[in-house]
Structure 1
Amino acid sequence: MPPAQAIGADDTFMLSASQVFQFDDNVYRVAPGVRPFGQSPGDRISVTSFRAAFDRQYSRQRLRASADFARIGFERFDSLNYDTQGGELRWDWALGRRLSGRLSFDQTQTARDLADVGGSRSSIVTSRSTQFSGDFWWHPDWSVGAGIERFTATYSDAASQASDYEALRPELRLTYRPRSGNQIALVGRFTDGTYPNRQANVLSDDGFEQTDVQLSGRWQLTGHSRLSGYAGFTRRQHPNLTNRDFSGPTGRLTYDWTPTGKLALKATVRREIGARDDLFDNFVVTRAASISPSWAVSARVLVQATAEWRERDFRGDPGLLPGSASSDGDITRTYTLGLNYSPIDPLHLGVSLSRYRRTSEGATGGYTANVGMLSAQYQF
């Protein structure tokens, strides 16, 4: 097994605090001309957050822990105010030079896009994951491994609790990792998913079984480019609504290109079911493509931009969240331009402008939103 990375003592503890001021001209993601509660749809938002992290190497064992807290406040629509708490505990373990693996627990809390929730309520998704995995390196470059994950997602609002989600995910894998640092793995994963607060009926099911076969990895193509991600085949079956079953190719591939020390480009394409960063754990097929160029003007100034196209197909969904804008699908286009400046090493300042535009097959699902943001972060 390749040697573990060394970690300096100065990196053991880290504390940071950040403050974000944001203006959103369409908080509720309503259609043009709609005035929520008879008011202008825009509002000012304040995000105050703190994070503490621990990272330490003990011989061949590495321990990590983190905790983060955030307070999100709205100036006019204060019924949307919320707090989040997240964190991680992780042990990268090793026994001798042939056995290694990971034991971890993490929690994240995120507010779902109000365009997906509908009405005047907000919905906070709490996701928890417990994982254990191990690999046996029977050759310096080859290993066989297995793992299991217990994942849950719960929604804070009562109207969405029928979409609370639990899954047990065992997997097997064969990994090739030469001394160059590249890596390729053949992974087989089975998911037993349930919706504990839902009863099966003619419109929704109470669970599913999913099988994934994937080829994943990261590979340095040239001195200036790298390809990472996975490609595979997914099959999802429902115990009652078999007409909602899905089978087809899925994947996520990211290409990183750094032609010079100052310029970089990242491009990502993906086709996934219920990806976590979509914040939608039901059966939603997402196709997306994004490109993110960046320019390091100097050692302390960075300019970044992102453009993303994302299409979601709800037609196979066995139980959409109440109030969802469309039962068929939507397309969202996102454009962001940002500037980051670090006047001193511990302090990071940022400003960005973003534009979101969604078109939907539903009558009221489309919207346009513009968001401006100022941020400051200090690391102790």
Structure 2
Amino acid sequence: MTYQRKKSGSGPYAHFAVMPVVMIAGALTCAPASAIDGDTFTPYVTYGVYYDANLLRLPEPAAQSDRWTRAAVGIRMDKELGRQRITADLSANQSNYDNFGQYDNDGKDLLANWKWALGNQFSGNVGTSYSDDLTPFDDYKGLERSMRIQQKNYVDGSWRFHPSWQLNAAYNRFDLRYDTQAQNPSERKLDMTDIGIDYLAKSGNKIGLVARHIEGDYPYADINSYEQNELKGKVDWQLTGKTYLQFLGGWAKREYASNPQRDSSVPSARLTAYWKATGKTAFSLGVWRELGATDDLAANYARNQGVSLGSTWDATSKISVDGLILTEKRDYNGVAVIAGIAPSNRDDRYNNAVIGLTYKPTLHWRIRASVYRTTLDSNVASATYKTNGALLTTRYEF
């Protein structure tokens, strides 16, 4: 028997918006060490041991713990050809669970980007990303293994037609699919097109405007297919030598051809501040209010409001400590998707906290340990859960 909780992340790439703390910690762990000068290809290996007190994200007392290991091999590429730069990262991994052996899996990941430049006026990127990994248990709870395949192809470019002005354009294609069902209603294809203009101050700061059009296609649940138009202002501003601000905010309008009563038009914004308090200590603060995606047939969308606070401390040249606290409130809009289903009045409060330590014995080798706590409090009893976990990982680059 399978139970799948509907996603409520924000934006067109909703499943990336709010990662569980264990995934954030894992991403920090796998961050590459500084490339050695002259290196074009850098092979690496990683190994980690993980523990979670409530692997399937179930309400108490149904929680069950597990321990698992994950090993990976990969290779990074970083090559400059004149003003062009090509980077890539290809890896394969294997995970094995102690108790839930049915979730054992082999995964793979690819990142590739060509950062191009033509003269002094034109520049941009062409790239792709691909991942084939176990579906996070926050999104899927089932006794059978579910692998999630994600692929993103993109191209963007800028034309600096004046020392103080720049035109921008971008196109992204995102595909999400699963291997557990031949026709999974959560599978989607998103096409996103951006056009915009930036004012470039002599100080290096930037103010701009971006218009975005999104076409969301759900091949096996056409009732969820939509078109979305956004108009947002953006700011990248160095307030002081130690403080930097990023802002993106404006209006988003989503329309559903199959069910116009689901149409929505709401403001959304995200502000992020970075503060380099000392030479060894830094903080980041994020605040957002955004339109979240949902596949729930009893709700049109989720309005997500959240705050996050992160910090890093370089205790020594080899030891660093980091922490993250995140809280997000998700209010589900009470418009039913189809007749016969009562509108949702669901409200969630999602909390994450993690603290980790990274030790770098050599330039090529790093070790990381971290602990985390994740909770989801909801007025839907079956969605409520809490868990604690820990991980110990190592990475070596040749």
Same fold at TM > 0.5: yes
Matched, 1:26 2:54: yes
- With 209-218 and 257-266 compared, the bigger mean Cα shift is at 209-218
Amino acid in the other structure paired with 1:211:
N
The 4+ residue runs of structure 1 with deviation greater than 4 A are 316-320
Amino acid in the other structure paired with 1:298:
T
Amino acid in the other structure paired with 2:261:
N
RMSD: 2.5
2:297 corresponds to = none
Q: Where do residues 265-304 of structure 1 align in structure 2 (5 Å cutoff)?
A: 265-274=283-292, 283-304=301-322
Which structure 1 residue ranges, 5 or more long, are not aligned? 1-6, 36-40, 200-204, 277-281, 321-325
State the TM-score, normalized to the length of structure 1.
Answer: 0.85
Which of residues 227, 231, 241 in structure 2 aligns to 1:213?
231
Task: Provide the C-alpha distance between the structure 2 equivalents of 1:290 and 1:164, rounded to a whole number of angstroms.
Answer: 29
Offset at residue 211 of structure 1 (A): 0.6
Percent identical among aligned pairs is 27
Evaluate the alpha carbon distance shift between residue 68 and residue 287 of structure 1 in structure 2; reply closer, same or farther with a 3 A threshold: farther
Per-residue CA shift, 1:124-145, capped at 9, x if unaligned? 3322111122222111231112
Matched, 1:347 2:365: yes
Matched, 1:124 2:142: no
Amino acid in the other structure paired with 2:241:
G
2:204 corresponds to = 181
State the TM-score, normalized to the length of structure 2.
Answer: 0.82
Task: Provide the C-alpha distance between the structure 2 equivalents of 1:51 and 1:218, rounded to a whole number of angstroms.
Answer: 34
Q: Secondary structure at the match of 2:139?
A: helix
Which structure 2 residue ranges, 5 or more long, are not aligned? 1-34, 295-299, 339-343
Q: Is the 8 A contact 1:283 1:318 kept in 2?
A: no
Q: Is the 8 A contact 2:88 2:112 kept in 1?
A: yes
Evaluate the alpha carbon distance shift between residue 241 and residue 76 of structure 1 in structure 2; reply closer, same or farther with a 3 A threshold: same
Evaluate the alpha carbon distance shift between residue 305 and residue 194 of structure 1 in structure 2; reply closer, same or farther with a 3 A threshold: same
Matched, 1:357 2:375: yes
Matched, 1:171 2:189: no
Task: Provide the C-alpha distance between the structure 2 equivalents of 1:98 and 1:316, rounded to a whole number of angstroms.
Answer: 49
Evaluate the alpha carbon distance shift between residue 180 and residue 358 of structure 1 in structure 2; reply closer, same or farther with a 3 A threshold: same
Amino acid in the other structure paired with 2:272:
T
Q: Secondary structure at the match of 1:196?
A: coil
Per-residue CA shift, 1:215-274, capped at 9, x if unaligned? 224221111111124122111111122222221122222111111112111111223345
Task: Provide the C-alpha distance between the structure 1 equivalents of 2:211 and 2:226, rounded to a whole number of angstroms.
Answer: 17
Task: Provide the C-alpha distance between the structure 2 equivalents of 1:44 and 1:294, rounded to a whole number of angstroms.
Answer: 28
1:61 corresponds to = 84
Matched, 1:337 2:355: yes
Per-residue CA shift, 1:76-110, capped at 9, x if unaligned? 10111222212122222222221222221211344
Which of residues 253, 256, 276 in structure 1 aligns to 2:271?
253
Task: Provide the C-alpha distance between the structure 1 equivalents of 2:194 and 2:40, rounded to a whole number of angstroms.
Answer: 32
Q: Secondary structure at the match of 1:79?
A: helix
Offset at residue 315 of structure 1 (A): 3.5
Evaluate the alpha carbon distance shift between residue 51 and residue 221 of structure 1 in structure 2; reply closer, same or farther with a 3 A threshold: farther
Q: Is the 8 A contact 2:235 2:248 kept in 1?
A: yes
Q: Where do residues 152-163 of structure 1 align in structure 2 (5 Å cutoff)?
A: 152-158=175-181, 161-163=184-186
Higher relative contact order (CA 8 A, sep 6+): 2
Task: Provide the C-alpha distance between the structure 1 equivalents of 2:232 and 2:75, rounded to a whole number of angstroms.
Answer: 35
Matched, 1:369 2:387: yes
Evaluate the alpha carbon distance shift between residue 286 and residue 31 of structure 1 in structure 2; reply closer, same or farther with a 3 A threshold: same
Q: Is the 8 A contact 1:244 1:316 kept in 2?
A: no
2:38 corresponds to = 10
Q: Where do residues 234-245 of structure 1 align in structure 2 (5 Å cutoff)?
A: 234-245=252-263
Evaluate the alpha carbon distance shift between residue 217 and residue 83 of structure 1 in structure 2; reply closer, same or farther with a 3 A threshold: farther
Evaluate the alpha carbon distance shift between residue 368 and residue 206 of structure 1 in structure 2; reply closer, same or farther with a 3 A threshold: closer
Task: Provide the C-alpha distance between the structure 1 equivalents of 2:108 and 2:334, rounded to a whole number of angstroms.
Answer: 33
Task: Provide the C-alpha distance between the structure 2 equivalents of 1:196 and 1:139, rounded to a whole number of angstroms.
Answer: 44
Query: How many matched pairs?
Result: 354
